[in-house]
Amino acid sequence: MTKIVPLPSAEKKPRRGRPRGAPDASEARQKLIRAGLEHLTEKGYSSVGIDEILKAASVPKGSFYHHFDSKADFGLALVAAYNTYFTTQIERAFLDEEHAPLNRLRIFTARAEAGMARHGFRRGCLMGNLGQEMGALPDEFRAAVTDVLEDWQARTARLFSMAQAQGMIVPHHDPMVLAETFWIGWEGAVLRAKLELRPDPLRRFADTFLRLIEAETLDT
């Protein structure tokens, strides 16, 4: 009778962990996103190289290409991350029911000014910066930036509709047109504030825009 000898069980190899001191996947990605936002809001997309981002984030190049296929892929991830952050700021002001609708816009612009002031007015809006460079960017950036701006406009239009319902804006105004006009002007004011390294353009635009709307209401 043939004796069956059991085969030796396969020895389990220990799982390879991340190198000591290396950031894990989520931490590395967060560091890259943070460094990218800091550099692109100040210098723009074309002026910043991947090596500069890696140095600022203290992340190895291999980690970058683990998370992003290319610089363009990284840039689109920054658009999404910036939109998530900025939408939170918009909603924080626009949904504050303790204040009248147009005062919520004043609160938003004041907070945005304070945010620029913290960095000496050297950092602007990522969407505005990318818009300035659009001719040199990959085609997919145009749709991504446009979608973000249209979302901000839609949120602002809802605020203006609320103000209109309360008699703060005259009925013949289209809230969506007002919202588009606001963001066109505001992005220009942010660019000018960054150019001059001072808050005056932000204040002039916000005060003039809101005063014109309210002045029409008072005259009716």
pLDDT < 70 stretches in the chain: 1-25, 215-220
Residue 26: predicted pLDDT = 84
The domain spans of the chain are 76-219
| The pLDDT of residue 95 | 97
* pLDDT for res 217: 53
Average pLDDT, the chain: 88
Q: What's the pLDDT score for residue 25?
A: 53
SS (H, E, C) the chain: CCCCCCCCCCCCCCCCCCCCCCCCHHHHHHHHHHHHHHHHHHHCCCCCCHHHHHHHHCCCHHHHHHHCCCHHHHHHHHHHHHHHHHHHHHHHHHCCCCCCHHHHHHHHHHHHHHHHHHCCCCCCCHHHHHHHCHHHCCCHHHHHHHHHHHHHHHHHHHHHHHHHHCCCCCCCCCHHHHHHHHHHHHHHHHHHHHHHCCCHHHHHHHHHHHHHHHHHHHHC
Determine the pLDDT at residue 206.
98
- 76-219 maps to CATH 3.30.70.100: no
